[in-house]
Structure 1
Amino acid sequence: MKFDKAIKLMEQGYKLKRTNWNGDDQFVFLVKGETLGRTIEPHYTFDRVDSNLFRVLFDHNVFSDLLAIKTTSNQIQLGWLASQTDMLSDDWEVIENEQCN
């Protein structure tokens, strides 16, 4: 499938990969900004110099949706950017109809 359809499926919570990627266990998925904010916020203490910045970020819910990739080294990398080849390829596929929760 083409990248535009892959994006729509990621918005619905599906994990996707390209057939031609070397790593069988790597995939891309969408992280909702609201989920990211709720996940990060409890882990910060506000007694540091940058406390005002974090208060502004969390108080105003400015986290945007982003793409993430699970890498072949089993790490989650936030802010994955598709290359031109990724965007123009038609070999995108859903991973076993599995959705992210």
Structure 2
Amino acid sequence: MNRYRAIQKAAMEYYYKERNKNIHTPEEIRGAFVTGAIWADVNSGLDLNSMAFGEAIQLMKYGDRIRRSGWKDQGKYIWLKAAEIIPCDLCQDPRLKSIADENGGNIETLGTIYMKTEDNKILAGWTPSQADILSNDWTIVR
């Protein structure tokens, strides 16, 4: 069983064990999965410090932040920002307000990968290089 499947199995087991404790909202379900994945990392000897990109992406979908150990700056990491609906009154950009008005008062955003850069800026729409995709040095940011 590969690491991702073992982590997913541990996360599912934890979720099923905890769901009788009134875990119903998406945030509570996601929290139970993340807790199960962390439990798997700490208690079952799974190595989450040398993952393939695909495994790291799956953990990002559960809410984890990830980075490559090969990146020079260890403060740099990426995470998945889920799709959401933003009300017009939260839009400050006139173009976004116009789009929201055309959309009935809301903007529906698509999910994207964000990066915290080495100079503490946020990059929206991070795209991996071929080296990033082929590397096996992805880790979870704790």
TM-score (norm 1): 0.76
Q: Which has the larger radius of gyration?
A: 2
Task: Say if 2:70 and 2:137, in contact at 8 Å, map to a contact too.
Answer: yes
- Give the Cα–Cα distance (whole angstroms) in 2 for the partners of residues 49 and 24 of structure 1: 36
Of the two structures, which has the highest relative contact order with CA contacts closer than 8 Å and spacing of 6 or more? 1
TM-superposition CA deviations, 1:4-39 (whole Å, max 9, x none): 1111111100000000001110000000121xx43x
Larger strand proportion of the pair: 1
TM-score (norm 2): 0.56
Trace 1:75-86 onto structure 2 (pairs within 5 A): 75-86=121-132
Larger helix proportion of the pair: 2
SS at structure 1 position matched to 2:54: helix
Q: What percentage of residue pairs aligned between the two structures are identical?
A: 26
TM-superposition CA deviations, 1:34-82 (whole Å, max 9, x none): 1xx43x8443258x57743232357565311000000000011110001
Tell me the residue number matched to 2:136.
90
SS at structure 1 position matched to 2:57: helix
Q: What amino acid does structure 2 have at the position aligned with 1:68?
A: Y
What runs of 5+ residues in structure 1 fail to find an aligned partner? 97-101
- Give the Cα–Cα distance (whole angstroms) in 2 for the partners of residues 53 and 74 of structure 1: 30
Task: Say if 1:17 and 1:28, in contact at 8 Å, map to a contact too.
Answer: yes
Give RMSD over aligned pairs: 2.5
Q: What amino acid does structure 2 have at the position aligned with 1:70?
A: K
Task: Say if 1:68 and 1:80, in contact at 8 Å, map to a contact too.
Answer: yes
Q: 1:68 to 1:50 in 2, by over 3 A?
A: closer
Are positions 1:3 and 2:49 aligned together?
no
